[in-house]
Amino acid sequence: MTLEPDDRDAIDDLRAQERATRRATVPALEEVLYTPFPVLDHGFVRVVDYMGDDAAIVQAARVSYGSGTKSVRSDAGLIRYLMRHRHTTPFEMCELKLHVKLPIFVARQWIRHRTANVNEYSARYSILDREFYLPAAEAVAAQSATNRQGRGDTLPASAADEVRRRMDAHARAAFDLYDALLADGDGGDGDEGGAVARELGRAVLPLSTYTQWYWKIDLHNLLHFVALRVDPHAQAEIRAYAEVLRDLVERWVPVTAEAFRDYRLQGANLSRGQLEAIRRRLRGDVVDAADVGLSAREWRELATILGEEG
């Protein structure tokens, strides 16, 4: 992660400030407010602001004047009930605002989560930093033979190093052209003509270029993001960001985070056929996929849920 001295000074100034407030605060999240958490080689996530806590979810569900009930156990039970039965609106009462630095190709996956407010760094107005993502050798893998949008086996070290060398050279050459276009408009061969507009010059940069944005989202939709993007099938680069968000959720709303872990991350949804297979097996029947109308993939997924892989 790269932060300029001015950036570090600005963060230190923000963290040094103390403000009196009557609103609910969360000490564990206050502890890391404004602090950048490194992700990948140059990226980060940092909390800029937040609203609400576990008690705010209970308050909204009960439409009460207080912060919750007198019983923490009762509050936790209600939150678990809401999570279990997918009553989502009380979770929407809590919001988190983040500052995120990420490669453009990760941002293009991320922005598919449309239930958020986003303001991205403008490369029409400002000049992009010379920063691009270069995967670690262990992240360089072949195309999966069974998953068209995923990776297969990691490449041998020599092959991975060659891929990284070529990716690095390509990105550096693209930034050289970008800098030249913005400097004199001719790619550096000396002709007159002035600098190319920034909005046009950026077109030569690769998807590995880092961008930044402010991203504000409610807790319900944040949990949906985390559930999808921490999954082992998600791309490794966006999963790295999602894991940081998951950890921030655990700091922010620990009771909700525990329910989320129990019912979503480590729980399972079963189809009618999968549930029927389990019921029949509990009765002692021998069941195969055809007996309950499951495809081969659904049958494998059920075996994974039940810990019967292979």
pLDDT in tens, 271-281: 999 999 999 99
What is the maximum alpha-carbon separation in the chain? Answer: 84
Partners of 95 in the β-ladder: 51, 218
Question: Residue 205: is its pLDDT beyond 90?
Answer: yes
Confidence grade of residue 68 (pLDDT, cut at 50, 70, 90): low
Question: Residue 189: is its pLDDT beyond 70?
Answer: no
Name the 3-class secondary structure at 255.
helix
Question: Residue 254: is its pLDDT beyond 80?
Answer: yes
Buried b (16+ CB within 10 A) or exposed e, 71-103: eeeebbebbbebbeeeeeebbbbbbbbbbbbbb
Q: Out of 229, 246, 279, 283, which one is annotated catalytic?
A: 229
Question: Residue 15: is its pLDDT beyond 90?
Answer: no
Question: Residue 310: is its pLDDT beyond 60?
Answer: no
How much is the average pLDDT of 101-123? Answer: 95
- Sign of the C-alpha dihedral, residues 239, 240, 243, 244? negative
Q: Where in the chain is the domain with CATH 3.30.1360.170?
A: 5-129+209-265
Out of 128-137, 140-149, 156-165, 297-306, which region has the weakest mean confidence (pLDDT)?
140-149
The number of residues in the chain equals 310
Question: Which has the higher per-residue pLDDT, 2 or 8?
Answer: 8
How much is the average pLDDT of 153-171? Answer: 94
What pLDDT, on the 0 to 100 scale, is given for residue 67? 61
Question: Residue 187: is its pLDDT beyond 60?
Answer: no
Out of 51-55, 183-187, 233-237, which region has the weakest mean confidence (pLDDT)?
183-187
Question: Catalytic: 165?
Answer: no
CATH T-level assignment (fold) for domain 5-129+209-265: Gyrase A; domain 2 (3.30.1360)
What count of other Cβ atoms lies within 10 Å of the Cβ of residue 114?
A: 7
Exposure on the CB side of residue 272, measured as CA atoms within 13 A: 1
Question: Residue 291: is its pLDDT beyond 80?
Answer: yes
